[in-house]
Amino acid sequence: MKDTLRALTQIDRMIHEPARLMIMMILHGVGEADFLYLQREGGFTQGNLSSHLAKLEEAAYVEIEKKYKGKLPLTVCRLTPKGRDAFASYSRSLLQTLKKNSPY
C-alpha cells in the first residue's frame, strides 16, 4: 500500500491541476477545438484559459495554431502525441492508485 500511495508523488503535476486536467480531458475527446469552445466547456475566464494553455504548450502537451475557417480567425488547440501519451499515462496511474486504495 505504501508503494501505491507513493506513486502519487510521481504524478504528472502539469496535468494534475483541475483547470489543466479539464483542458486535457476536453482536448482528448476531440480532434481539435478552438479557444471559445474550450472556454464554454470548461467555464474558464479568458485569462485563466490563456495562462493554462500557455503552460501546456510550454510542456509540449498541446499545440496551438491560428487558422481560418472561411473568413473567421480561430485559435485552435489540439493535443500533441506527447500530450496524449502523458494523459493516458496519468489516467492509468491515477485510476490504478485509486482502485487499490479507495474504500468505494
Is 14 or 38 the residue whose CB approaches other proteins more closely? 38
Q: Interface with other proteins includes 46 (CB under 8 A)? A: yes
Q: How far apart are the first and last CA of the chain?
A: 16
Instruction: Tell me which residue has cell 494534475.
Output: 16
Q: Which stretch binds other proteins (CB under 8 A): 1-9, 10-18, 62-70, 85-93?
A: 62-70
Q: Which stretch binds other proteins (CB under 8 A): 6-14, 23-31, 88-96?
A: 23-31
Is 29 or 81 the residue whose CB approaches other proteins more closely? 29
Beta-bridge partners for 67: 74
Binding residues (CB under 8 A) for other proteins: these are: 25-41, 46-47, 50-51, 53-54, 64, 66, 69-76
